Structure 1
Amino acid sequence: MNLKKLAQNLGLSQTTVSRALNGYPEVSETTRNRILAAARQHNYAPNTRAKGLATGRAHAIGHVIPVATRHEMVNPVFGDFIAGASETYSRNGYDMLLSVVENGNEPEAYRNLRARGVVDGVVVHGPRMNDERIALLDSLGLPFAVHGRATGHSGPYAWLDVNNRSAFKRATGFLLDLGHRRIGLINGLEHMDFAHRRRTGYTDALQERGIAIDPAIMRANEMTEAHGYHSVLEMLDLPHPPSAILCSSMICALGVRRAIEDRGLVMGRDVSVITHDDVLSYLQNGGPIPIFTATRSSVRDAGRRLAQMLIDQIANPDGAPETILLEAELTVGKSTGPAPA
């Protein structure tokens, strides 16, 4: 089935059918829905190359990933984000272009994408403190949206982020209300913006209650199961070990739980644990009663929403950059309890 035959079946002009499929506003909603239904019935999809020639757009979104990067964005959290974004791309007739580049070659990759005209915009992953990619993309005039924010960049840009500072301040306060005074932090790499904000929320909550910050029970590294495991073993061997742990990832939390059990302790009774849960499709936090008390925010939903934000920006280039700040939900599970006497 091609465009000509689809138009003939519908008794409409090829121009009307093409405009409906490409989202032009001058087609009535009734006609558009009729055309879309027929296209689905006959398994018709517009030719991307022809569509690009007609509209001057590539109808593709780029994602540039450094091959040597090992932090959270390349673990399965990234897969769930991409799954969500892909749903939005498919619904809007966009393809995804994933560029894996040597570490340090990101700027050249963005320049190359812009020069070749193979994408209409890019998603920026894993924003760092004072991230230079934002200024570069501004200078290139390539539409972009950031999954997260970059502390230190004052200019306007499109972003979607979880309120990491507020989430970890609330989680720390929850543990303090349970009577815990020695609360350890297992964080991601703190040059990453999300980890910096989580640490700030944690320290703010402690300082507001007059509790001194103790670097001996704070760790920051790649967010792996092994990072959680070895960090907590070290903390539990201290003369004054923590009675609670605040953790930046469900993956780390698995290691935290293993360390607690290897010491013959019971999570939730001897050591309380709160983690951040990205609501991963492959790693659910238990059933009706969660295993871990957690700050929760779906990374898959974030992918859907950020992709739509970028597509809207491409369609309306003169509009102000959109920003979305999501609040995490604190869900109480089996992993927390009152501080041991």
Structure 2
Amino acid sequence: MNLKQLSELLGLSQTTISRALNGYPEVNAETRERVMKAASETGYRPSRAALRLATGKAGSLGLVMPVSEDRFSDIHFAEFQNGLAQECLAHDFHFVIIPAHPSKEEQAIRGLVHSGAVDAYYLAYLRQNDPRIAMAKSLSVPFIVHGRSLGLTEDYPYLDVDNEAAFASATEMLLNLGHRRFALLNGPQELDFAVRRQMGVERALKGAGLHLPKSATSNTVMTDEHGYRVMTDLLRQPQAPTAILCASTVLALGAVRAINDAGLVVGEDISVIAHDDDLPLLKPEHFRVPLTTTRSSLRDAGRRIAERLIADLATSPSGPPLQEIWQAELVVRASTGPAPNKR
């Protein structure tokens, strides 16, 4: 069954059928229901070329993915993409990824939009004063930012986790357990989420009359290897920290390995809290000592980004941009306990 045959079967134009299948409001509910029923019974699925000709839409969401020799593959990125792809599949949307060198990312985004290959796209890995936002606002298709950008007026659509509040809460918990020597194993310093997580730690420590020494703060790619190296160096300090905050369970995996190698006990000698993106292959409850975390699902965030973009395409929203800030859940497990001198 092709579009022409379905058109002849129903006595409707091919344009009307395409618009009915894609939820356009000018098609009345009775006609839409009739078209949907016939499409289901005949097994009709519109071709992408026909869809684009009939509606002017590609039926695709897009992303430009920065790629270079010095960039690591990122399990966090893959988990977010999984959620987004699942939502695209549920709505019969394609998901287009265009690789580009980081120095040519803006050029690649413009090319992707002007090609007509996508109807909407999202921006990820936001930096402070990120120039991509102004560029995105100047283009003709909807976009959503995953994260925010410090230094810019928040007049753009976004979905973000309250990273500052999450790490302030985690730090306050450790302070209440009597800890006074802290360290932060953070993500790359140019990324907005890492900046906000450090702000949260520093805010809570300032409230207790403490500060976070520069020597106790690291900014690295979030891998097991980096977590191990940084933690090993911290344990060599004359006054080693007793409270460790990690920007990811992947960093925490390496940090815990270093603590174990030093003959120390997590939750007794050193307390550890990590941010948990709900990665299916790295569950914090499966650590040898179950890990206390601030939890917010990256897969759920991916689904929500796709859901919002697809909804924007169907309704053409007006008014101020929708902005969502999710609160992370503090999940207490055995990796946190009283400071050693408080036992």
State the TM-score, normalizing by the size of structure 2.
Answer: 0.90
Which residue pairs with 1:88 in the alignment? 87
Which residue pairs with 1:258 in the alignment? 257
SS of the counterpart of 2:251? Answer: helix
Q: Quickly say closer, same or farther: Cα 1:118–1:184, change in 2 above 3 A.
A: same
SS of the counterpart of 2:58? Answer: coil
| Equivalent position amino acid for 1:130 in 2 | N
Which residue pairs with 2:330 in the alignment? 330
Q: Quickly say closer, same or farther: Cα 1:44–1:280, change in 2 above 3 A.
A: farther
Which residue pairs with 1:60 in the alignment? 60
Q: Give 1:120 deviation, angstroms.
A: 1.4
Q: Give 1:90 deviation, angstroms.
A: 2.2
Distance 1:40 1:169 in 2: 52
Per-residue CA deviations over 1:114-143 (Å, capped at 9, x if unaligned) read 322221122111011110111112223332
Q: Quickly say closer, same or farther: Cα 1:38–1:301, change in 2 above 3 A.
A: farther
What is the root-mean-square deviation of aligned Cα atoms in Å? 2.5
Alignment size in residue pairs: 339
Which residue pairs with 2:156 in the alignment? 157
Distance 2:283 2:207 in 1: 33
Contact 1:71 1:189 in 2 (8 A): no
Which residue pairs with 1:292 in the alignment? 291
* Structure 1: gaps of 5 or more residues: none
| Equivalent position amino acid for 1:206 in 2 | L
Q: Quickly say closer, same or farther: Cα 1:290–1:59, change in 2 above 3 A.
A: farther
Q: Quickly say closer, same or farther: Cα 1:278–1:155, change in 2 above 3 A.
A: closer
Q: Quickly say closer, same or farther: Cα 1:181–1:264, change in 2 above 3 A.
A: same
Distance 1:289 1:226 in 2: 18
- In the alignment, is residue 181 of structure 1 matched against residue 180 of structure 2? yes
| Equivalent position amino acid for 2:161 in 1 | V
Which residue pairs with 1:18 in the alignment? 18
* Structure 2: gaps of 5 or more residues: none
Distance 2:189 2:79 in 1: 23
Per-residue CA deviations over 1:206-257 (Å, capped at 9, x if unaligned) read 0001113312211111111111111111111111101110000111010011
Pairing 1:1-341 to 2, within 5 Å after superposition:
1-5=1-5, 13=12, 17-25=17-25, 32=32, 36=36, 39-40=39-40, 42-68=42-68, 74-154=73-153, 156-286=155-285, 291-315=290-314, 316=316, 318-341=318-341
Q: Give 1:337 deviation, angstroms.
A: 1.0
Q: Give 1:69 deviation, angstroms.
A: 7.8
Contact 2:18 2:54 in 1 (8 A): no
Q: Give 1:266 deviation, angstroms.
A: 1.0
Q: Quickly say closer, same or farther: Cα 1:115–1:318, change in 2 above 3 A.
A: same
Contact 1:69 1:103 in 2 (8 A): no
Per-residue CA deviations over 1:66-96 (Å, capped at 9, x if unaligned) read 1128678x41111111111112222333211
